[in-house]
Amino acid sequence: MKVAVVGATGMVGEVMRKVLAERGFPVTEFLPVASEKSVGQTIAFMGKDYKVISLEDAVAARPQLALFSAGGSVSLEWAPRFAEVGTVVIDNSSAWRMDPTKPLVVPELNADVLTSADKIIANPNCSTIQLVVALNKLHAAYRAKRIVVSTYQSVTGTGVKAVTQLMNERAGVEVPMAYQHRIDMNCLPQIDVFLDNGFTKEEMKMTNETVKIMRDAGIKLTATTVRVPVMGGHSEAVNVEFEHEFDLNEVYQLLAESPGVVVVDDPKNGQYPMPIHSEGRDEVFVGRIRRDESQAKTLHMWVVADNLRKGAATNAIQIAEYMLGKGLL
């Protein structure tokens, strides 16, 4: 299969290349694609070196699959051009997520919405993906009524410039700022721009995307998203009020049986999910599972995942794998 990775030189693009190789995706021709300033650079894939090509050249090559991680404006302009030549585009930006004509997919939950007619498929926000994977079976059993989420998000979600800022601040070196404030020894209660309602765009992404993926307009979700000086993955404190009463032992069992979930919950022995342990892993880790004693039918849990893998690259490739397996690609 001829596969293009658009944004191949970026952090997510690098992980996409790695995950394609690890999972043995049937790539027979690889097309690394990036901006004009990167064209001609050499990058490695599966033990071979490839020259980065332009978007124009990639469209002309008519790949069967294009994995996009190059920002919303690039996706809005170029995803339709790839689709016009028959390429299936799986886009990691926010450009198409809330378009009612485009599927927004987490394979463990709603891959059944995909058809052979879908040429532009949206990959959800990293924080949304790990949340809905953890909620999947619990919602089916008890129906989530209201969800309050506070996130603790890795600097890798911003990109190389943010990682450089953090490490250089730690070393006492002045560098160009990815954020408007210091990130080392600090927390930034702002991810993306503020909207008129006082929430950030990242917070509203979680609210709107969760409803679309879980296909339940009755879910009420509110979020506070925070950037923290860590690498390895995003963490979320999740409080869920259910419509139906739950048994805590059954909750553990449902989570343990949930596709893509690993339960790590032995707090007495210091065992709970942490981003340092999620790095390089594709699973969503859930722990600190407990009943909210302040309100009936309400559960607390702590959810951690590698935002570059399950939160981005791996989820996109799992979509492609599903489509390939169903003969949709």
Q: Do 141 and 288 have their domain in common? A: yes
pLDDT value, residue 58: 98
| Per-residue confidence band for 159, with pLDDT thresholds at 50, 70 and 90 | very high
Q: Do 13 and 138 have their domain in common? A: no
Catalytic residues: 126, 234
Query: Is a pLDDT exceeding 90 seen at residue 175?
Result: no
- For residue 216, the SS3 value is coil
Q: Do 29 and 154 have their domain in common? A: no
Average pLDDT, the chain: 97
Q: Do 186 and 301 have their domain in common? A: yes
pLDDT tens for 276-310 read 999 999 999 999 999 999 999 999 999 999 999 99
Identify whether the C-beta of residue 113 lies closer than 8 Å to the C-beta of residue 150: no
Q: Do 108 and 249 have their domain in common? A: no
Region 147-165: mean pLDDT is 97
Q: Do 90 and 138 have their domain in common? A: no
Count structural domains, the chain: 2
Residue 16: which domain range?
Answer: 2-123+312-325
Q: Do 155 and 102 have their domain in common? A: no
- CATH of residue 170's domain is 3.30.360.10
Query: Is a pLDDT exceeding 90 seen at residue 16?
Result: yes
- CATH of residue 9's domain is 3.40.50.720
Region 29-35: mean pLDDT is 96
Quote the crossing angle between the two packed helices 11-22 and 314-325, to the nearest 10°: 40
pLDDT tens for 182-198 read 999 999 999 999 999 99
Q: Do 149 and 280 have their domain in common? A: yes
Largest Cα span, the chain = 60
Of all residues in the chain, the percent with pLDDT exceeding 70 is: 100
Q: Do 92 and 216 have their domain in common? A: no
pLDDT value, residue 220: 98
| Per-residue confidence band for 113, with pLDDT thresholds at 50, 70 and 90 | very high
Region 120-140: mean pLDDT is 98
- For residue 2, the SS3 value is strand
| Residues contacting 232, CB < 8 A, separation 6+ | 154, 156, 274, 275, 276, 277, 278, 279, 306
Q: Do 196 and 61 have their domain in common? A: no
Q: Do 159 and 61 have their domain in common? A: no
Q: Do 111 and 146 have their domain in common? A: no
pTM: 0.96
CA distance 23 to 17: 10
